Amino acid sequence: MQPIGQLVVLLLGLVLPLTSGLFINPYTKFWPRDSVSSPSTKGNDGDPLLLTPYIEQGKIVEGQAAARVNQTSRLKGFKSYSGFFTVDKRYNSNLYFWYFPAKVNRTTAPLVLWLQGGPGASSMFGLFVENGPFRVTRELVVEAREHSWYENHHLLYIDNPVGTGFSFTDSDAGYARDQVQIGEQLYLAVSQFLQLFPQLQTLPFYITGESYAGKYVPALGYTIHQKNANATSPLRINLAGMAIGNGYSDPVNQLNYGAYLYQLGLIDSNALERFERDESTTADCIAKKDYSCAFKVMDDLLDGDANGGNSFFSNITGFATYFNYLSTAEDPMEEINMVAFLMLDETRRALHVGDQPFTNPIVDNRVERYLQDDVFRSIAPWIEELLQNYRIMFYNGQLDIICAYPMMVNYLQKLQFNGANYYRTVPRGTLEFDGEIAAYFKLAFGLVEVLVRDAGHMVPRDQPKWAHRLITAFTHPGSVKGFV
């Protein structure tokens, strides 16, 4: 491994221009495009800790002890557990997790799973940059984060799907092709987690995530719903609800970029014509189930995944990011620190990841590539069924471009569920924290729609205090009068 200073300088010097596509990984800005491999210590740190054998052999106490994250000079003061769950033995496919017991009220605090989007974005981004117990300093030491969700929730992060972050498989056949497969594998991971930590089985379980996790969250929720209804399922997961931040769930009804950007003044009428034409073409491709066609048209127009970020949107606006319409670029320092920290030998040994690479999605984009036909498929029918049985909060940052609030509302208004008509007509309420308006919301049976002020694509990063208060209000019903 390189000295710390050189490592950070290397990552900073090579960091790509802040262009990153929704569909390859919305957080690729911390990866150098000209790097040739994923970070790895090349043989210094042993094998990844596979916990499935402990569970299968009934060695729960031993498994918990093995998963305990070791304290180091850079990572201390936080109790946590990490390791891998095998989700497909045919291909040695394993999902990586990192779990933090709640800071207070551990016997009653809800269990919250966080899933990053992408596809191909590691949930370590959420942990280190958005809502986890700590962040990484320039000195590559963790420091406590204010307003972390772990203050009153058990927090579980999973690198999903297989091939993302530390999660791995031995075969290309092990990569997910659709949300059914992702839901099944997440279910296997969560089931094993609850067997390893049986004291958590009775707690309310909430699935949360952002961006492309607008598909992952319902995929897991729908799978749990089906398995719980099956009397032969060995474990009934106590699913209490789901929360999706700036989610991408129903592509054909989220194709309103041209009108939105024009109203913001970011494009002119000529560019608007191009957007409207390409969006119409994309809708036609989706109607014909030609998902590769839809992907290519929108990639050229907006995302730039397949051509190094060189999209029509970036060329005419000069924007190197579409996470906040008040910012043309992002400061990647937090992400650079995160990656440098995860590359340290002592970190890797503490987390039990062994020599398993932390996948660079620029160099190894197989997660996105194998899910390309999934990108423009809708999971709205799953959401409709889930709304009949569970509470789902859809929250959006006011300033996002790529998964903008009006586009979320457009697809929510087309959902068919028992509160659909009421949702379309119910007036908004205001959500105030400490005397300040933080958000506007609507309640319609199980549906909770929220607009968070002064936030972009990553609400917990942009408004950490409000995001923590919001998730607490949702997971602790009745704690905020008039909300849920």
Give the active site residues: 211, 400, 457
Radius of gyration, alpha carbons of the chain: 21
CB 445 within 8 A of CB 418: yes
Cα 107 from Cα 344, distance rounded (Å): 34
Q: Which residues pair with 135 in a beta bridge?
A: 143
Query: For residue 353, what are the CA distances in angstroms to 49, 56, 66, 97, 346?
Result: 6, 20, 12, 10, 11
**What's the rounded Cα separation, in Å, for the pair 134 and 77?**
10
CB-side neighbour CA atoms (13 Å) of 204? 17
CA-to-CA distance for 301 and 345, rounded, in angstroms? 41
State whether the Cα torsion 295-300-306-308 is positive or negative.
negative
Rounded distance between C-alpha atoms, residue 95 and residue 115, angstroms: 12
Crossing angle of helices 291-298 and 269-287, rounded to 10°: 170
Q: What share of residues in the chain are helix, strand, coil (percent, to 5)? A: 40, 15, 45
Q: Answer whether 262's CB lies under 8 Å from 236's CB.
A: no
Residues 135/467, Cβ–Cβ less than 8 Å: no
Long-range contacts of 437-441 (CB under 8 A, 24+ apart): 438/463, 438/466, 438/469, 438/470, 439/395, 439/466, 439/470, 441/483
Q: Give residue 6's identity as a one-letter amino acid code.
A: Q
Give DSSP secondary structure letters for 269-283: HHHHHHHHHHHHHHH
Contact 122, 364 (CB under 8 A): no
